[in-house]
Amino acid sequence: MGTCIVCANESARTFDVMYEGGILTFDSFQCAIHRLAPLCAHCDCLIIGHVVESDAAIYCCTQCARSAQGLEPLGPAAAA
Ligand SMILES: [Zn+2]
Ligand SMILES: [Zn+2]
């Protein structure tokens, strides 16, 4: 039995994640994502996949990284 550090659910199906020198216990990927996934510095969404790093900030996609820097978004209009 383990106890999820996010929702306090006690379950036999918890798993541990080593993170920054500590061990975090979760009962689901949902709770692990809630606790560990970074937020996009532009749109505040949880970043589940690869991040786009720019200077000291992390973004969910290149569109957010460009928008945060005051650049026009990429797209069909930009290519024309
Ligand atoms: Zn949980
Ligand atoms: Zn974003």
* C-alpha to C-alpha distance for 65 and 37, rounded to whole angstroms: 17
Q: Does the predicted TM-score (pTM) go above 0.85?
A: no
Distance 7 CA to ligand 1 centre (A): 4
Relative to the alpha carbon of 39, which ligand is closest? 2
- Residue 77 has what pLDDT? 59
Relative to the alpha carbon of 66, which ligand is closest? 2
Mean pLDDT along residues 28-34: 97
24 neighbors 35 (Cβ within 8 angstroms): yes
* C-alpha to C-alpha distance for 28 and 30, rounded to whole angstroms: 5
Distance 55 CA to ligand 1 centre (A): 33
User: pLDDT tens-digit profile of 37-80?
Assistant: 999 999 999 999 999 998 789 999 999 999 988 887 777 655 54
Distance 14 CA to ligand 2 centre (A): 30
Mean pLDDT along residues 14-31: 97
